[in-house]
Chain A
Amino acid sequence: MSGILQRAVSQEMCEYCQRFDLLDMINDAVLLVDAKSNDVLFMNQKALHMYRYEQQEIDNLAIVDLSHESRETACEKMQMVVERAKRGYIFMANHVKKDGTLFKVEISARCLVMHGKAVIVALVRDATADGKMRQELEIAGKIQRLLLPEELETAQFSMRTIYQPLYGLSGDLYDVQYNEESQALFGIILDVMGHGIAATSQGGILRYLFRQAVEKHIAVSDKLAWINNEVMPFFSSGGFAAALLFEFDFKRKILTYSSAGISYFLCLNSKGVAVTKSPGLFLGINEKEAYDECVMTFQSGDSFFFLTDGLFEMLAQPINKLHTFATMYELCKNLPISKTIKDDASGVGILVH
């Protein structure tokens, strides 16, 4: 080999090695895999540590040795990467360490040509923590459901509920407190902005405040204003909540309500279904906000549906006036199942006996 050619080859090799050095500096596991044979060509230091292999051991490794899935599945996924070429392909897989430990990984891979050879470059992330987080969220979602009151059947009223979170956790919540002696039913329907952990926590705080507010001998609108003042610090970093607070006085046949951003509810009586407007500013925006209080009378057989906007917006307008409590409840219950929901969808229906 001539001196010039030798220098050119060694320079190329040097650049090649420098590239591998760079890959070793990355704080994520990186694999280079031969797209044809699926043999592992390179594992950076992070990958060697994650899979518990030594540098010299990778010569005999293929991607199927790292995968805990069937040979066909592992090869199919590699083929998918090849087909998508430069667009890249992100997928989940079950992998196995040298010591036999199984773990879930997220792989972000592309197929490139290096020195005339089709090579899959894969960034592998240990997704075990994601799985744990998902499990935690599932448990939190179940706990959240346990906070919801059971459907009620009393001499004065029947209560039916709808609860359909967009994801496992929900920003929607409702709660009721019935006092048999005074025949008064207090209730609240809540829609906290968002669907995640923050919204769930804020919902839990609002539910706690609702229960405290019920005990206070003040007007319904003042209860809502008190809840707003108390909850302000919990919305200081952003967000807000819609709420509607109501009190059914079954002795005097009076419904009193105050709204904070839940702008409509449904009244069903002998005249049919009517949409009632309920104005008011969301909770968590203005301190010392004063809320309107509205009063309406009701009769035996009348019913009411307090819905979050996720459910209300799914109802086709204008609403069929011939609905009964039972048919409206069926419609509200089935809408989040039959239609693609874009928001948490919840509601409380009250039928006066």
Chain B
Amino acid sequence: MQIDTNIVNNQVIVDLSGGLYVEGAEILREKLIKYMENGQKHFLVKMHKVDYIDSSGLGVLVSVHKRTRQCNGSLVITGTTGFVKELFELTRLNKVFDMQ
């Protein structure tokens, strides 16, 4: 799993690629929490290049979503395809997150 981040116009852009499993999810969690601790509250997660996500990966996104909601921030997810898209639909998370 590759996780690239940068800040554009006060929004943290997170570009993910590969399979998001438990180890990658833990790194992603640490990175996003660090941004939140530094006052960032708007996130855009690009998932065009993600071919797999397990429950720990979904867990990180849900946790970040909950935290951003509490501080009037936002979490936008873009570019889900294939299995990842189906999993978001099956778990109804496509209705929870702002999916673009």
Contact in complex: A282, B62 (CB < 8 Å)? yes
Query: In the assembly, what is the distance between CA of A49 and CA of B49, in Å?
Result: 57
- A-side binding surface: helix, strand, loop or mixed? loop
Given the contacts A193-B59, A240-B59, A343-B56, A282 and B91 also touching, CB distance less than 8 Å: yes
Tell me if B96 is interfacial: C-beta within 8 Å of chain A: yes
Give the residue of A277, A278, A281, A343 whose beta carbon is less than 8 angstroms from that of B96: A281
A263 touching B90 in the complex, CB below 8 Å, given contacts A313-B54, A343-B22? yes
Q: Which of A242, A277, A281, A343 contacts B95 (CB 8 A)?
A: A281
Residues of B within 8 A of A242 (CB): 55
Helix, strand, loop or mixed for chain B's interface?
helix
Closest to B67 in A: A238
Asked if A175 is an interface residue, CB under 8 A from chain B, the answer is no
Q: Which residues of B contact A203 (CB under 8 A)?
A: none
A280 is an interface residue with CB less than 8 A from chain B: yes
- Report A-chain residues with C-beta under 8 Å of the C-beta of B92: 279-281
Residue of B nearest to A264 (CB): B90
Q: Is A191 positioned at the interface, with any CB of B under 8 Å from its CB?
A: yes
- Size of B's binding interface in residues, CB under 8 A: 18
Given contacts A263-B87, A263-B91, contact A309 B96 (CB under 8 A): no
Contact between A279 and B66, CB atoms less than 8 A apart: no
A-B contacts besides A238-B63, A261-B91, A343-B54, 19 pairs, CB < 8 Å: A193-B55, A193-B62, A238-B67, A239-B63, A240-B59, A240-B62, A242-B55, A263-B90, A279-B90, A281-B91, A281-B93, A281-B96, A282-B62, A282-B93, A285-B66, A286-B96, A309-B54, A309-B55, A310-B55
Q: Write 15 A-B pairs (CB below 8 A) sorted by A numbering.
A: A193-B59, A193-B62, A238-B67, A240-B62, A261-B55, A263-B91, A278-B90, A281-B91, A282-B62, A282-B93, A286-B96, A309-B54, A342-B21, A342-B22, A343-B55
